[in-house]
Amino acid sequence: MTGSVAPLVAHMLYRLDYGGLENGVVNLVNRMPRERYRHAIVCLAGHGAEFRRRLQRDDVEIVSLDKKPGKDLAMYARAWRELRRLRPSVVHTRNLGTVDLQWVAWAAGVACRVHGEHGWEASDPAGSSPRSVRIRRACRPVVQRYVPMSQDLARWLHERIGVAPDRIRQLYNGVDIQRFTPVPETAASRPASITIGTVGRLDPVKNQACLLESFAELCARQMSAGQLRLLVVGDGPLRGELEANAARLGLGGSVEFAGARSDTPDLFRRMDLFVLPSINEGISNTILEAMATGLPVVAARVGGNPELVHDGLTGRLYDPATQGALTQALGAYLGDASLRRLHGQAGRLRAVRDFSLDAMVQRYLDLYDELLSPGI
């Protein structure tokens, strides 16, 4: 890479708003050295004010293609014009919502093209939808490198989409270990109640309904009134239904629906135990954030979760198909503060050692450098 102007990476997202994928892009842009790469973010359907404010660099252009609902063929023409204007050295699309823009990038003359797979769509938690497989296979000829967030996704790309292994670079997300930190040991003693927490979009693939059922069982079996609390952070289409379920189960003031929040580090520090009951996952940012906060993690044994949670060391993995498995996994922690502390400390050490933002940024620098190397 020669010349005084750093190469430009155009990150193409469906929307820059609340979510783990978007959080990862913002962290990457903020942390990557200015002298190495410049960045632009191209959003199909706009952006939220909160995530725009989180961008700490003043040299990042955000472009909205103002995609209309449903099929919007004119959006592809707008994308082509924007890429011709920006002239990026690298285009980096992510997930099904933007993979077809790889063809637009190719038509616009972008030399280096990367596609990331960060997790499963809510409508296709197993990645088996014929339509989504067909679209990804159709885009395969123009993608030079694939970046799955987990080994599970890397296997799926090879076996289901037919991507050659030498075009796959599996990279893990990073977590801000300075922003997500444990409650100081010198802090005032915690309340007598135990707070189980979860963070995620409220939709079927995240499976918070199962968590409510398990929480109700724990309240009935193991804890006296007021000793156990559930903190649900996030928003989405199932919020009303979940709130109704909590009322139906008689949970009353024991469950707090906090909505989508920007103060998640503070909310994690209110928790004693973190749970992610998803039907499927890529590499969960919220698991990494919980680990960095020093929380033991209970998660379903699906997707990339076993790559993050060391069962019996940093948390517990359970079989989502087994009746009562989630309740049992959570229950094992409720009466054992020393076990919660031990697993939480091990999780924090693993987050610092293996999943720091600096390590993530270096992996992306290596990837972009590889693509821009002569002869690629």
Q: Are residues 46 and 144 in the same domain?
A: yes
Give Cβ neighbours of residue 59 (< 8 Å, ≥ 6 apart): 34, 38, 39
What are 45-77's pLDDT values in tens digits?
A: 877 776 677 788 889 999 999 999 888 899 999
Structural domain includes residue 188: no
Q: How far apart are CA 235 and CA 231, in angstroms?
A: 13
Residue 233's CATH number: 3.40.50.2000
Q: Are residues 231 and 306 in the same domain?
A: yes
Low-confidence ranges of the chain (pLDDT < 70): 1-3, 18-19, 50-51, 122, 186-191, 222-226, 375-376
Show the domain range for 321: 194-354
Structural domain includes residue 347: yes
Domains of the chain: total: 2
Q: Are residues 364 and 313 in the same domain?
A: no
Q: What confidence score (pLDDT) does residue 190 get?
A: 62
Q: What confidence score (pLDDT) does residue 225 get?
A: 47
Q: How far apart are CA 25 and CA 82, in angstroms?
A: 20
Query: Taking the alpha carbons of 46, 265, 320, 241 in that order, is the dihedral positive or negative?
Result: negative
Q: What confidence score (pLDDT) does residue 350 get?
A: 96
Alpha helix locations (H) across 57-196? Answer: 73-86, 95-99, 101-107, 130-139, 151-156
* Long-range interactions of 156-163: CB distance < 8 A, separation 24+: 156/117, 156/127, 157/117, 160/127, 160/128, 160/133, 161/133, 161/136, 161/137, 162/137
Structural domain includes residue 209: yes
Q: Are residues 222 and 169 in the same domain?
A: no
